[in-house]
Amino acid sequence: MTRSARPARFTLHPDFAVGDVDPRLFGSFVEHLGRCVYTGIHEPGHPTADGAGLRGDVLDLIRELGVTAIRYPGGNFVSGHKWEDSVGPVDQRPRRLDLAWRSTETHRFGLSEFIRFVRAVGPQAEPMMAVNLGTRGVAEAIELQEYANHPSGTALSDLRAAHGDKDPYDIRLWCLGNEMDGPWQTGHKTAEEYGRLAAETARAMRQIDPALELVACGSSGRSMETFAAWEATVLAETYDLVDHISLHAYYEETDGDRDSFLASAVDMESFIETAVATCDHIGARLKSTKRINLSFDEWNVWYQRRTALRPEEDWQEAPRLLEDHYTVTDAVVLGSLLIALLRHADRVTIACLAQLVNVIAPILTEPGGPAWRQTTFHPFAQASRHGRGRVLDVRVDSPTYDTAKFGAVPLLHATAVRADDGTVTVFAVNRGQTEPLPLEVTLLGMDLTTVVEHTAVADADPEARNTLDDPERVTPHDVAGTRLGDGVLTATLEPLSWNVIRLA
């Protein structure tokens, strides 16, 4: 229930800022899971496929989405993965059982194909490679590093050249395993076990290249019983050897509690702030001047209660798994999660929407057929396009509503980003489901006179979604009546809406 009908307000001033946005905040994730790779990004024989088998229609949408760092090859998949299986002549690569998703992996798409894919996306994209610290360890990690990055003159760098890639891949960003705190993870470890292994791996990789960026595994979720204690133990071993620690979080509507679902970013922001506090506590204990940043390298709306691996589907190739079809409500929540990441851009320097195509993804495809944008595509694409610059400090004064999980929550969730040319973009979500929300923003110290545009993702039907038969059902639409005068922006946010207001 809304506690007040008054407008939501905040003030912007360029001297009060959170920090600069790292472009890698708009990263994504490609895992060998379901149809993310096969018939997602890679489908030889598709009418739009290029010579490498990459779907041209999907590449066009990925470029429009604006993704930057792309994490690969997992995810849970990596903890049983032998990187050697994914290189060399495709017809000689082995078929293997993937224990994580009970599928059969053919390795028709492997490391070199992934690098070609990243390069095809464009210069804004970079690879983020995960190494297997579940069933493998230090030796395999540095062998992969040598194969991928060493110029020439060694057994593995020359093997890469023999496989057709003379030039090194120059992968700069590496994840030291995946979700090693999770009992579901192949090769699951205690914090002590993982911390030592991650430290040994990081030290060896830095002996080859001290300038790498390394991400240690943090908790797989804030609800893990070991959360915070896990981070503290791992960082005590790795603090001077890594640059980031990871966070993972997924959200879904449960038991019809849409009010709490719309407030999911309350949990995400608390997760971030607690992780930062833990990192800084360990830094203080170690008397270090170094600062560990956060890699939120898995996040999304994911209806996990709908996920079931059925025995009759075991060991299929690229089965249809985790193909959530997102609604307007999901898009608004995803937009709010983007706002949460931007509001912590001083410490969250990498984030990966999981995943990119078909699997809990903003893009869906049909084999041999079309690709289309899900509702969640639009907030991400708009944030990536207009959320580059310096995040301003937004302190919201808003009416509230009651939630079962989080108590009283502001109806307005917002942030603002000032670009290098002085233009400002306000990103705002109205969490209220039935009533429009008046917004007033006071602008100080900025020469802003014009509303360039105000668009919203909203719909009279909160369950509206984009489908194969109606792929443009939900798109951003123009909002009338937004004004800027005498240093005050006034607007009305539609019920249950994601809003982008650009000022110049």
> If you ran DSSP here, which 8-state letter would residue 454 be given?
E
Q: Output the CA angle 387-391-395, nearest 5 degrees.
A: 120
Distances in Å between the Cα of 368 and the Cα atoms of 18, 38, 76 are: 46, 11, 28
One digit per residue, the tens of pLDDT, for the chain of length 504 reads 344 469 999 999 999 999 999 999 999 999 999 999 999 999 999 999 999 999 999 999 999 999 999 999 999 999 999 999 999 999 999 999 999 999 999 999 999 999 999 999 999 999 999 999 999 999 999 999 999 999 999 999 999 999 999 999 999 999 999 999 999 999 999 999 999 999 999 999 999 999 999 999 999 999 999 999 999 999 999 999 999 999 999 999 999 999 999 999 999 999 999 999 999 999 999 999 999 999 999 999 999 887 766 666 789 999 999 999 999 999 999 999 999 999 999 999 999 999 999 999 999 999 999 999 999 999 999 999 999 999 999 999 999 999 999 999 999 999 999 999 999 999 999 999 999 999 999 999 999 999 999 999 999 999 999 999 999 999 999 999 999 999 999 999 999 999 999 999
Structural domains in the chain, CATH included, are: 8-13+393-503 (2.60.40.1180), 22-386 (3.20.20.80)
Query: What are the residue numbers of the active site?
Result: 179, 298
CA 278, CA 259: separation in Å to the nearest integer? Answer: 30
Which helix or strand (DSSP H or E) is residue 281 part of? helix 264-285
Q: Output the CA angle 306-28-415, nearest 5 degrees.
A: 95
Q: Give the residue from 141, 133, 127 showing the smallest Cα distance to 72.
A: 127
What is the sign, positive or negative, of the torsion defined by CA atoms of 304, 306, 311, 315? negative
CA 13, CA 476: separation in Å to the nearest integer? Answer: 28
